[in-house]
Each structure stands twice: as structure tokens, then as C-alpha cells.
Structure 1
Amino acid sequence: MKIAAITGISPNVIAELKKGKPRTLELQSAHNIITLTDVLPGDHVFMTHIDLDDVCSGDPGIIVEVLSITINMKRMVEYINPYYYEEKERMSARIQVKYVDNTIAKGVDGRYWAKPTVVDILPSAVFHAG
């Protein structure tokens, strides 16, 4: 199963998500924002603490469900003395996610600039009796 991958997430954030409550994350890494441009609410996403350059087959992560997503641009103007000012733009993505399951990456696609990162994951082997 291939799904979008968000990389470089703090292990503390992943541990907090595993408790089961929805959490909102603000992401500013360009590669993660590019990946999120193809994600809609209701989609599943692979999250791992491993950096994009190091993600490979066999790396652990979690699957989360995206509850909401917002990508926006912030403009800031900084004045220094009356003759100098600097304008900055910062793009960020806010996503609210909920933990679904643990998983392992089987393969990684899209480590190229301006391409979403996609990971092939192992399907869950959890069965519920009922």
C-alpha cells in the first residue's frame, strides 16, 4: 500500500500521537509541505522520526489519519533603522491527525525536489475477534 510520507517528526510527537488523541502539527519543512499538497482530509499518512535523506526499506513509523489540513503563507516585514527593511515569507502547513497503527516502510519514492514523498508500507496484520 503506497501512502504519503511525512519525515523528520520528533519521537516525542510520535509518542504523543500513539496515545490516541488527535493532535495538530505545524510543519515548515519544504519537503513535508510539498508532500501535503496531495493529501486530503480522510487520507492516511506515514510518519517517521527519520530524516528524508535516510528513510529506507525497513524503517519504522506510524500511520495517521488526516482530520484537517491547512497550508498558508505568512509575510513578515522587519524594520531596522529608518533606511533598511526586510520582507520575509514563510509557508507552513497545519494538519490535525489521529493515530491509526504502527507500520514499517517497504520502499520509498519521491525524494526529489518538488515531488511528494511516497512510501510503500507493510499492511497491518491485526485482526479483531468479534
Structure 2
Amino acid sequence: MKYAALTGISPSVIAELKGGKARTLELCSAHNIITLTEAAPGECIFMTSVNEEDLAPGDPGIMVDLLVLSISMKRVEVVNPLFIEERERMSARIKVQFRGTTIARDVEGRKWGDPTKVEVIRSACYRAG
């Protein structure tokens, strides 16, 4: 089965998620936001600290349950004495909870605009909780 893959996640965030408590993250990377457009709460997601372009079979990661997903556009105004500049920034806020560790078996979605998906090696040991 293929799972959405969030890449380039800080190792400290992954370590904190392994503690078992649900955490809310804000993601601004375009490739992660694109991947989340095809995800829905209740699904499992693969997360890794490996960058998207370096992700390959055998790379380690964690599986998390996606509890909440919100993708939004934020407007920011920068005021200078001569002009007002308006910028937009898209971000995704997700609430996830650790399910277990795993390894990527197959990776797809290498073209720009395609969601990153991985097939994972199923764990023989599960976390109770």
C-alpha cells in the first residue's frame, strides 16, 4: 500500500513525536503541501528527515496517524514609506500521532507537482497505546 510521504522533517520533531503525544505541525514546503492535498484525516502518513530529492528505498522514517489537516493561505503586508507590498504564503497545519517506525521500500512522485508517496516495509513489532 502507498502512503503519503512528508520529507525534510526535523529530526528533533520526529524524536518528539516518538514520545507518543499528538503534536501540531505547520509545514510550508511546497512539496509537502502538494502531498497533503491528497491526504485526509484518519489516514497514515510516512514522515522522514531525508530531503525529497534524496529519498530512496531503505531510508528510515516513522508512520503517524493524521488527526487534523488544514491547508490555508495567509496574507502578509509589508509597509515601507514608499509603498505597501502584499505577499501570500500557503501553509498546512497538521496534527499527527506516532504509530511506529518503518523503512521506505519504494518511492514515487519525483516530478514537480506530484505528491510524494512511498510503499513501506511493515513492522513486525507494534506499539501498544
- How high is the TM-score relative to the length of structure 2? 0.95
User: For residue 25 of structure 1, what is the aligned residue in structure 2?
Assistant: 25
Quote the offset at 1:127 in angstroms: 6.3
Would you say 1:11 and 2:11 are equivalent positions? yes
Q: Percent identity?
A: 55
Structure with larger Rg: 1
User: For residue 89 of structure 2, what is the aligned residue in structure 1?
Assistant: 90
Deviates more, 1:111-120 or 1:55-64: 111-120
Cα RMSD (Å): 1.2
Quote the offset at 1:98 in angstroms: 0.2
Question: Runs of 5+ in structure 1 lacking a partner?
Answer: none
1:14-49 C-alpha deviation (Å, 9 max, x unpaired) = 000000000000000000000000111100000000
- Partner SS state of residue 119, structure 2: strand
Q: Which runs of 4+ in 1 moved over 4 A?
A: none
Hey, what's the Cα distance between the residues in 2 that align with 1:27 and 1:64?
A: 15
Figure out how many residues of one structure are paired with residues of the other and give that number. 127
The 5-angstrom pairing of residues 1-130 of structure 1 reads 1-81=1-81, 83-126=82-125
Hey, what's the Cα distance between the residues in 1 that align with 2:93 and 2:69?
A: 6
- How high is the TM-score relative to the length of structure 1? 0.94
Hey, what's the Cα distance between the residues in 1 that align with 2:124 and 2:49?
A: 22
Hey, what's the Cα distance between the residues in 1 that align with 2:125 and 2:15?
A: 20
Hey, what's the Cα distance between the residues in 1 that align with 2:42 and 2:85?
A: 39
Quote the offset at 1:114 in angstroms: 1.1
- Partner SS state of residue 32, structure 1: helix
Hey, what's the Cα distance between the residues in 2 that align with 1:127 and 1:110?
A: 28
- Partner SS state of residue 67, structure 2: strand
